[in-house]
Amino acid sequence: MTRTPHILIVEDDREIATLVSRFLRNNDFRIKAVANGREMDVALQDGRFDLIVLDLMLPGEDGLSLCRRLRSNGSIPIIMLTAKAEEIDRILGLEMGADDYLVKPFNPRELLARIRAVLRRAGGTPAPDVGESSVLSFSGWRLDKAVRRLFNPQGERVVLTGAEIDLLLAFCERPRRVLSRDQLLDLTQGRAAAPFERSIDVLVSRLRQKMERNPREPELIQTIRSGGYMFSPEIELSPGNPG
């Protein structure tokens, strides 16, 4: 049903990071912890997260800057951690729009409560990001994210099932990158792969049947042996001419 929320912690103090991670894991969250902005970017590329817990003081790019960047990109909920109470005023003054704030040292239960509140507020699952434009296109194909429909270069509707659309959306969000089966499963279902699991393979096969000119020689979805799959087309935001 509602899958377990996936939370990304950006915190350079290893002790706090492990403490919090463990506590939250014990409370039914999936946790990934990273130590700085660069690692955060990588993590965001690889997986889908429901909420970010962000330390203000970080080596390299600091939390404020990261927060602003995240905000300009999307609407993922953010909880900020600060070392000093006085900082909160400064943060608020800067209006960088975190969803909540917490002063260190904090009780993990407090963080837990805030996370739950923010997640509940955010409402449902962060839907397959129906961003600004709901239509994207690639190699003549058009994909309408809002109504989850696909049209081939001839403008005909190609009916996809829900899981197929989810997978295609995951590919479209990360084109021209090798994605492991594990990543794809995380992106589409927010869960890890069981050993011997082949469901992504099957789904790719079904997508190919419906989309590839010749499924034996795929042009859109490439197989990367012992690596995963890669979506090769370039994504355009403005919808291609259907004619």
Partner DNA sequence: CGGCGTCGGAAACGATTGGAAACAATTCCG
Partner DNA sequence: CGGAATTGTTTCCAATCGTTTCCGACGCCG
Smallest gap from Cβ 115 to a second copy, in A, equals 10
* Closest of 209, 215, 185, 179 to residue 197, by C-alpha: 185
The CA distance from 11 to 23, in Å, is: 15
Pick 201 or 219: Cβ nearer DNA: 201
* Closest of 125, 145, 143, 126 to residue 134, by C-alpha: 145
Pick 21 or 183: Cβ nearer a second copy: 183
Q: Supply 74's token pair.
A: 């999307």
Among DNA, a second copy, none, the one that 100 touches (CB under a kind-dependent 5 to 8 A) is a second copy
Among DNA, a second copy, none, the one that 215 touches (CB under a kind-dependent 5 to 8 A) is DNA
Smallest gap from Cβ 143 to a second copy, in A, equals 14
* Closest of 149, 147, 200 to residue 171, by C-alpha: 200
Q: Is residue 210 near a second copy by the rule CB under 8 A?
A: no
Q: 141 has which bridge partners?
A: 138
Pick 72 or 226: Cβ nearer DNA: 226
Q: Is residue 182 near a second copy by the rule CB under 8 A?
A: yes
Cα angle 206-213-173, degrees, rounded to a multiple of 5: 60
CA–CA distance from 72 to each of 98, 101, 147, 161, 169 (Å)? 12, 19, 25, 32, 21
- The residue ranges that bind a second copy (CB under 8 A) are 1-2, 75, 85, 88-89, 92, 95, 97-101, 109-110, 113, 116-117, 120-121, 123-127, 130, 146-148, 162-163, 174, 176-180, 182-183, 219, 222-228, 230, 232-234
- The residue ranges that bind DNA (CB under 7 A) are 159, 161-164, 189, 194, 196-199, 201-205, 208-209, 215-216, 223-228
